């Protein structure tokens, strides 16, 4: 197989040539949320096209840039847009940026997404703290850790129980409470997409115990946990995914993202301001 560590190092070298700042938090921005990176202090921007192994983004609402700077005093690396399995990429390609962000120095992943709410009493614009996930593509064999495992990156069989850090969840709850922002909590279910779900599929999602459904995030969290990163996930409910409700469309996703931007930006800034900047996460001694 290709030497993944060499590929990671090639990408890391391109980025570190642009900045001496060592980011500690990787922030992945979902559909309609790219403008949150406008809040960075002293940012440097690297287009994905200039980073080996990064792919072009093809989905409206995903800019295709890596921005490194400080947000709320915290050194961060922000992905303005992500890659999706439904775009025709492998799960390894989708998650490669997370490995690069880890190599840059990130010990924490904060992933955001746009999601469909599975409860009739939820509202467009609600924020949901992800407490757990259901990875249907992974359970069906489309898994980012499938294939030979490089022990320098992580163990063969990483545990996914408590994949979402409990201390960070408590921090998010406290931040939302202090800001007066209602914060729902629940299980995020990933489907491969790109078609929005049928009524029967939405009923299945609800029966499986999911609270929100989307097409991203979980592969990135799996790979981050494989490398020992701490993870937090936030879903912006951009539509109500109800079997008897109106059909979903991507335009409403983007509009909901724009409307909720001040609220989610305030929450993320508060979370970042209170993350312990001295915390380190045990990783392999051969980490790139």
Which residues belong to the active site? 31, 62, 84, 86-87, 114, 215-216, 239, 250
Closest CA to 220 of 128, 125, 133: 133
CB 190 within 8 A of CB 133: yes
Closest CA to 23 of 277, 219, 285, 255: 277
């Amino acid at each position: 197989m290709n030497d993944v560590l060499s590929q990671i190092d090639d990408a890391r070298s391109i980025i570190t040539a642009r900045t001496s700042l060592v980011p500690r938090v990787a922030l992945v921005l979902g559909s309609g949320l790219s403008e949150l990176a406008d809040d960075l202090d002293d940012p440097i921007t690297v287009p994905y096209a200039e980073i080996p192994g990064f792919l072009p983004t093809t989905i409206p609402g995903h800019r295709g840039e890596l921005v490194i700077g400080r947000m709320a005093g915290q050194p961060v690396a922000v992905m303005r847009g992500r890659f999706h399995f439904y775009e025709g990429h492998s799960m390894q390609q989708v998650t490669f940026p997370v490995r690069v962000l880890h190599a840059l120095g990130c010990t924490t992943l904060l992933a955001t997404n746009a999601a469909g709410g599975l409860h009739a009493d939820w509202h467009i614009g609600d924020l949901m703290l992800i407490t757990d996930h259901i990875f249907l593509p992974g359970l069906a064999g489309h898994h980012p850790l499938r294939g030979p495992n490089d022990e320098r990156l992580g163990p063969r069989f990483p545990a996914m129980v408590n994949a979402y850090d409990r201390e960070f969840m408590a921090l998010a709850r406290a931040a939302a409470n202090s800001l007066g922002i209602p914060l729902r909590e629940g299980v995020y279910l990933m489907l491969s997409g790109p078609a929005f779900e049928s009524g029967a599929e939405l009923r299945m999602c609800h029966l499986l115990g999911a609270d929100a459904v989307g097409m991203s995030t979980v592969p990135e969290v799996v790979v981050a946990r494989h490398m020992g990163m701490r993870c937090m996930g936030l879903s912006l409910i951009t539509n109500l995914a109800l079997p008897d409700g109106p059909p979903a469309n991507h335009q409403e996703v983007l509009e909901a993202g724009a409307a909720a931007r001040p609220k989610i930006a305030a929450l993320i800034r508060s979370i970042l301001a209170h993350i312990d900047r001295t915390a380190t996460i045990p990783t392999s001694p051969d980490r790139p």
